[in-house]
Amino acid sequence: MSLKDQITEDMKTAMRAKDSERLATIRLLMAALKQKEVDERVELDDAMIVTVIDKMVKQRKDSVAAFTQGGRQDLADKEAAEIKVLDAYLPQRMGADEITAEVKAIVAELGAKGPGDMGKVMGAVKTRLAGKADMGLVSAAVKAALSSGA
């Protein structure tokens, strides 16, 4: 079963269970997926769906930080609940140690030396780790690897 089919089934299940919060989040996800398909005139595969979900999770994490800073804990809690629903559709994330090891291997493969090669390394890392790792942690690992390798 594809990821899109799984999301559709979960939407039906949420409707039957009258789980309004979960249903609202899944509908937002379905709308984002449909928008991406219409904008790019493509049928989304699982990798592209994971990219869309990743972007939505990042937006919600930013919103949680902003709402918490603004003293709106009720809205921060709502966004955090949406993150939990969306996280269920993402593949298992890599740990910090795994990310660091993978980044070091990529830096060695490319022969990158110093911060000037950041773009080249990030391009390779994004294709290999997309959807598997938090890109914020990946970016930090790349910076650390390049500064220590300089």
pTM for the model: 0.71
**Residue 81 structural domain:** 3-87
pLDDT for the residue numbered 63? 94
Number of structural domains in the chain: 2
Quickly count: other Cβ atoms within 10 Å of residue 34's Cβ.
11
CATH number at residue 121: 1.10.10.410
Distance between CA atoms of residues 87 and 51, nearest Å: 12
Q: Are residues 82 and 109 in the same domain?
A: no
Give, in order, the Cα–Cα distances in Å from 83 to each of 73, 122, 146, 149. 15, 25, 32, 36
Q: Are residues 80 and 119 in the same domain?
A: no
Q: Are residues 37 and 105 in the same domain?
A: no
Q: Are residues 109 and 52 in the same domain?
A: no
Q: Are residues 11 and 80 in the same domain?
A: yes
Q: Are residues 82 and 120 in the same domain?
A: no
Q: Are residues 28 and 63 in the same domain?
A: yes
Q: Are residues 23 and 77 in the same domain?
A: yes
Place of tokens 């949420």: 14
Low-confidence ranges of the chain (pLDDT < 70): 112, 130-131, 148-150
The mean predicted confidence, pLDDT, of the chain is 85
Q: What is the pLDDT of residues 50-90, one digit of tens each?
A: 888 889 999 999 999 999 999 999 999 999 999 999 988 88
pLDDT for the residue numbered 149? 55
Q: Are residues 41 and 111 in the same domain?
A: no
- H or E segment to which residue 140 belongs: helix 135-149
Q: Are residues 49 and 8 in the same domain?
A: yes
Report the half-sphere exposure of 135 (CA within 13 A, side-chain side): 16
Considering 87, 109, 131, which residue would you say is the last residue of a domain? 87
Q: Are residues 10 and 83 in the same domain?
A: yes
Considering 87, 104, 134, which residue would you say is the last residue of a domain? 87
